[in-house]
Amino acid sequence: MSASGAPAPFVIAVDGGGSKTDAVLLSRDGTLLAHERGSGSNPQLDGLESSVSTVDAVVSAVLGSRDLNELAQVNLYLSGLDFPAEISAYQAGIAQLRWAIPGTVVDNDLLALLRAGTDSPDAVAIVCGTGINAIGVRGDGATARFPAVGSISGDWGGGGTLGSEALWHAARAEDGRGPRTLLLEKVREAFGVAELSIAIADLHFGRRSSSSVTDLSPVVFDAAAAGDPVAVGLVQRQADEIVAYARVCLDRLGLLDAEAPIVVGGGVARARHPLLVSRIREGLAEVAPRAELKIIDTAPILGAGLLALIDSGATADALAKARIALATV
């Protein structure tokens, strides 16, 4: 409600990841009023202060000169908020900002991905992009989550892992410690070198960005499509990891026999490599035969906007209107 007691007409939603941050301003009837995009805002990667600064900048941009008394709801969904302590720290970090009204929601961006892909109250969302993580939700509010802080929490997969694995196998193929693999040729081509040892030295001495390793993930799928056994094994393992996340989420929530959608997003998943997708479908058929795989291209900001509208008490018609408006953001 506004200070005058009239219905507050605006909501703000933010989706922040490792490479970009989207903020939208919506009226409670579902109209998209403003959209801004900034750099990444993952607090684990950028630090809390930098993340808060990025989010503040995009939120302030969509707000413009609008009256804050008309702001009904603010929902922030960021990657890197994997522990309750991280969420609490972020809430404290934004507490003094002018737009951080009472009831501001701060949570992991997987919730935005999930709602972008389904309206079902019982569902699982898995992101397989640069990294990998998942969340399961049940209609009564129960959730299944993972620490998702890398190998120390048992994580394997995403572009970063696949790129590193491609380089690892290629290096061993070049010097003879490992089996011959098409990955060697593919990685040399990607790096533009005749000998992989040149690129390895460049990475070691900082002459080549470490992000270039993550950029190698497509070569894994290229080599797998050509039938390379090493690459095929990596793609199969990635699919099995996605199935494992789905299985554990559904099991924890007692939904293994439910018709629950499995929403999968992120760049690795969106490529829809046939071997990856078929292996995921086969795995799900074994562990959760009634689950429905949904690989989505829609940006998570759609889900963030819908959640903000839901929390503000928007109508079903408003949600339908917003889903259309946010689909192209």
Is residue 96 located within the same domain as residue 128? Answer: no
Select the more confidently predicted residue: 195 or 4: 195
- What pLDDT was estimated at residue 19? 85
Is residue 174 located within the same domain as residue 97? Answer: no
CATH number at residue 100: 3.30.420.40
CA 173 to chain centroid = 33
- Token pair, residue 68, equals 């804050």
H/E stretch holding 235 reads helix 229-252
For residues 201 and 174, what is the distance between their CA atoms, to the nearest angstrom?
14
Model confidence at 7: pLDDT above 60: no
User: What Å distances lie between residue 80 and 70, 108, 130, 251, CA to CA?
Assistant: 30, 7, 12, 24
Q: What is the pTM of this model?
A: 0.92
Count other Cβ atoms within 10 Å, centred on residue 188.
18
- What pLDDT was estimated at residue 8? 60
Q: Is residue 3 a part of any domain in this protein?
A: no
- What pLDDT was estimated at residue 3? 41
Q: Is residue 72 a part of any domain in this protein?
A: yes
Q: Is residue 223 a part of any domain in this protein?
A: yes
Model confidence at 315: pLDDT above 80: yes
- Token pair, residue 21, equals 């941050």
Strand partners, 32: 26
- What pLDDT was estimated at residue 18? 84
- Token pair, residue 154, equals 């048992």
Q: Is residue 43 a part of any domain in this protein?
A: yes
Residue 92 belongs to what domain range? Answer: 10-109+300-326
Q: What are phi and psi of 191, to 5 degrees?
A: -85, -15
Is residue 231 located within the same domain as residue 293? Answer: yes
Sign of the C-alpha dihedral, residues 108, 112, 114, 115?
A: positive
Model confidence at 1: pLDDT above 80: no
Mean pLDDT of the chain: 95
